[in-house]
């Protein structure tokens, strides 16, 4: 059985992965809070990305730039004038829609209105009598432009001179720091700068659980290379991204590539590919990978007056590097990982168990320590728990019968259960049960941490 979004939501709430945001006040639409397991899973995803793209990657370095940037940044990039969606209201039920989405949904993605002007979209909707997906009505307002950036004020006055934006992407903080990072890290082009952080977009149609929200986290990299080499690097990072998703535990068949056709590319891009994941509503964007030419650096150079060119020490040439940008949402990957790895397994005795077959690196909890009978082995189990706490994310569980405790560990993806029983008190050995095979081995306490360290790397 594969989970639909409602079942997944119930699962995440029950086990403490994800809760509705501001729940005790009736919630705040499309906000989600990550509970103990969700927070841990999110951190593990970010850690894996950071290792693969930054700390263990000889090509790249890392950055943590501000959410609030000088507002000129967004004029330079075109976000102030151009980061807009076509908004249309249904007059009958007052629901809001993105005109381009109305078209793609009604035509089951056969017609892609991306790049059309608003009149074209409006005419298509009217001529083809596309009905409101919420109420079935056919009575729309004209299309209005809606800027997706969250605006706020800096300082004590609310005059428009102090208008400032929450960043809609982490990428621009990287471009603003290109020179700083290059100089201080002494990196030579080609090299990349990776960053993880919150971004904000006032989306018209958030939804599909945590897929599209107004506050979300991105893991982005800008990879700077010599003009003319960008398409090779584009191919390189696409392959790298697919290998990363495999490491993160996504099945090959759950993922596919969508190459944007040449005529649909953003004017600054000479290649763009989306990695799509097969979400419960169909394939949709998980990861965007774009070859952005020197657009961002050139615009920031123009608007700031600062020279952002790179001087190649080997050839003495000066140039603005071209850029490849793989941009991935933390929550979209988290959602894909849960969907891909959560299953109801029927066992040989006919019973079923909920099993999260998540990779060991991402499992929110690595080990659970269980005394078989609390009254007799509780003290020893606490000792073992403390021994393991030194090295691992580990929990202690002594409530309910042992079978139920194993099931709970399986359901949240804990790779190993360590059970303390009568024999432990006599010979200092414990039973280790593996999640997927449910096979058990006996290991001595002296050797326990080392044994698990090796197993968890597998």
The residues binding ligand ATP (CB under 6 A) are 169, 201, 203, 212-213, 216, 218, 285-288, 327-329, 331-332
* CB 402 to ligand ATP: min, Å: 40
Task: Give 250's contacts (C-beta < 8 A, 6+ positions apart).
Answer: 277, 336, 337, 340
* CB 11 to ligand ATP: min, Å: 20
Return the number of the residue (182 or 195) whose C-beta is nearest ligand ATP.
195
Structure-block tokens of residue 198: 């919150």
* CB 400 to ligand ATP: min, Å: 37
Return the number of the residue (39 or 276) whose C-beta is nearest ligand ATP.
276
* CB 290 to ligand ATP: min, Å: 7
Return the number of the residue (17 or 216) whose C-beta is nearest ligand ATP.
216
Return the number of the residue (168 or 321) whose C-beta is nearest ligand ATP.
168
* Alpha carbon separation from 208 to 73, 103, 214, 243, 435 (Å, rounded): 31, 18, 12, 26, 30
Convert 117-141 into a string of H (helix), E (strand) and C (coil): CHHHHHHHHHHCCCCCCCCCCCCEC
* CB 148 to ligand ATP: min, Å: 9
Q: Can you give the length of the chain in residues?
A: 458
* CB 295 to ligand ATP: min, Å: 14
Question: H-type helices in 267-421, by residue range?
Answer: 295-304, 330-341, 374-389, 402-411
358 burial class (0-12, 13-18, 19+ CB within 10 angstroms)?
buried
Question: H-type helices in 217-367, by residue range?
Answer: 230-247, 295-304, 330-341
SS3 content of the chain, % helix, strand, coil (to 5): 35, 30, 35
Distance CA 368, CA 397 (A): 7
Return the number of the residue (44 or 77) whose C-beta is nearest ligand ATP.
77
- Alpha-carbon torsion 259, 261, 262, 266, what sign? negative
* CB 277 to ligand ATP: min, Å: 10
* CB 331 to ligand ATP: min, Å: 5
Return the number of the residue (247 or 353) whose C-beta is nearest ligand ATP.
247
* CB 251 to ligand ATP: min, Å: 19
Return the number of the residue (286 or 323) whose C-beta is nearest ligand ATP.
286
Distance CA 345, CA 411 (A): 10
E-strand ranges in 330-457 read 342-346, 352-356, 367-371, 394-396, 416-420, 429-434, 440-444
* CB 327 to ligand ATP: min, Å: 4
Return the number of the residue (217 or 397) whose C-beta is nearest ligand ATP.
217
Q: Which residue is listed with tokens 């994941």? A: 277
**Which single residue brings its beta carbon nearest to ligand ATP?**
329
Return the number of the residue (258 or 376) whose C-beta is nearest ligand ATP.
258
3-state secondary structure of 292: coil
* CB 449 to ligand ATP: min, Å: 37
Return the number of the residue (50 or 376) whose C-beta is nearest ligand ATP.
50
| Main-chain dihedrals φ then ψ at residue 431, nearest 5 degrees | -100, 135
* CB 25 to ligand ATP: min, Å: 22
Query: Is the separation of the CB atoms in 240 and 246 below 8 Å?
Result: no
| Main-chain dihedrals φ then ψ at residue 242, nearest 5 degrees | -65, -40
Query: Is the separation of the CB atoms in 193 and 181 below 8 Å?
Result: yes
Return the number of the residue (35 or 288) whose C-beta is nearest ligand ATP.
288
Return the number of the residue (150 or 303) whose C-beta is nearest ligand ATP.
150
Distance CA 45, CA 43 (A): 5
3-state secondary structure of 404: helix
DSSP state of 55: I
């Amino acid at each position: 059985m594969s989970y639909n979004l409602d079942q997944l939501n119930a699962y995440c709430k029950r086990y403490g992965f994800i809760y509705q945001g501001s729940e005790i006040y009736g919630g705040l639409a499309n906000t989600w809070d990550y509970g103990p397991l969700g927070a841990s899973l999110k951190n593990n995803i970010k850690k894996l990305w950071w290792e693969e793209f930054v700390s263990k990657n000889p090509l790249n370095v890392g950055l943590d730039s501000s959410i609030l940037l000088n507002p000129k940044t967004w004029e330079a990039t075109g976000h102030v004038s151009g980061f807009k969606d076509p908004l249309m209201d249904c007059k009958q039920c007052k629901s809001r829609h993105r005109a381009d989405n109305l078209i793609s949904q009604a035509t089951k993605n056969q017609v892609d209105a991306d790049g059309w002007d608003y009149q074209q979209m409006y005419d298509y909707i009217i001529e083809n009598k596309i009905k409101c997906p919420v109420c079935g009505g056919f009575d729309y307002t004209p299309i209005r432009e809606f800027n997706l950036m969250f605006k706020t004020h800096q300082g004590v006055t609310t005059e428009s001179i102090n208008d400032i934006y929450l960043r809609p992407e982490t990428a621009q903080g990287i471009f603003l720091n290109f020179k700083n990072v290059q100089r201080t890290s002494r990196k030579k082009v080609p090299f990349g700068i990776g960053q993880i952080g919150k971004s904000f977009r006032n989306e018209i149609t958030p939804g599909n659980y945590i897929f599209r929200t107004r506050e979300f986290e991105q893991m982005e990299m800008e990879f700077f290379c010599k003009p003319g080499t960008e398409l090779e690097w584009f191919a390189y990072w696409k392959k790298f991204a697919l290998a990363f998703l495999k490491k993160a535990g996504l099945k090959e068949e759950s993922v596919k590539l969508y190459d944007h056709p040449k005529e649909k590319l953003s004017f600054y891009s000479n290649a763009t590919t989306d990695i799509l994941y097969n979400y419960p509503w169909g394939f949709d964007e998980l990861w965007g990978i774009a070859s952005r030419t020197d657009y961002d650096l050139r615009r920031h150079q123009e608007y700031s007056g600062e020279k952002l060119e790179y001087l190649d020490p080997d050839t003495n040439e000066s140039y603005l590097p071209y850029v490849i940008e793989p941009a991935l949402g933390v929550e979209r990957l988290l959602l894909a990982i849960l969907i891909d790895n959560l299953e109801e397994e029927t066992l040989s005795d006919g019973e079923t168990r909920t099993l999260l077959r998540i990779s060991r690196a991402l499992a929110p909890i690595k080990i659970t320590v269980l005394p078989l009978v609390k009254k007799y082995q509780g003290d020893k189990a606490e000792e073992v728990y403390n021994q393991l706490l030194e090295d691992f994310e580990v929990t202690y569980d002594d409530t309910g019968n042992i079978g139920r405790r194993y099931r709970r560990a399986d359901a949240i993806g804990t790779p190993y259960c360590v059970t303390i029983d009568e024999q432990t008190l006599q010979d200092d050995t414990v039973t280790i049960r593996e999640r997927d095979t449910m096979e058990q081995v006996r290991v001595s306490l002296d050797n326990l941490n080392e044994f698990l360290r090796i197993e968890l790397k597998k």
